[in-house]
Structure 1
C-alpha cells in the first residue's frame, strides 16, 4: 500500500485535473480509491473530491491544488 491515497470519483473531470497536477509535480506512487460505492467514504469525501491523503500522518489536501501546493504538501509530509 502506498503512503498516499487519492480519493476520487468515476467520470470526474476535477479528478482528471488532479491526476495531471500530480504528474506535473512528479508525485510519488499513490493508490486511487473511488468513493462512489462506499457510504462512509461518500459521506466523508463526497463533496470534497478529489482529496489527497497522506496515510502516515492523516494530512489531507483538498482540491483545488496546483503543482506548487502539492509539492509543499509532500515536503511537509517528509
Structure 2
C-alpha cells in the first residue's frame, strides 16, 4: 500500500532541500507518495508550521520536522517495524 506523505516546505530553504532529498531516499525503499506544500502559498500551513519547516506529516500526524533523518522517517513509515 502506498502511503501519502505531506511535506511542508518553502522556497529558499536549504533545510527543506535536504529534507526532500532525505524523503526521496526513503521513497526508494518504501512505497510512499510525497505531496509537497509550499507554506507561503497556504495561509493555514504557514501559520501552523512557519518556524518548524520542513515538516513531514503522515495521517495528520507530524512524524518529523527540522533536520530530517532517514532512520526516523523510515521507522515511522515502515509497517514491518
- TM-score, normalised to structure 2's length? 0.78
Identify unmatched segments of 5+ residues in structure 1. Answer: none
- TM-score, normalised to structure 1's length? 0.80
Structure 1 moving runs of 4+ over 6 Å: none
Report the counterpart of residue 40 of structure 1 in structure 2: 44
Report the counterpart of residue 20 of structure 1 in structure 2: 21
Comparing 20-29 with 6-15, greater Cα deviation is found at 20-29
In structure 2, distance between residues paired with 1:64 and 1:73? 15
Structure whose residues are more often helix by fraction:
2
| Secondary structure of the structure 2 residue equivalent to 1:3 | strand
Report the counterpart of residue 11 of structure 2 in structure 1: 10
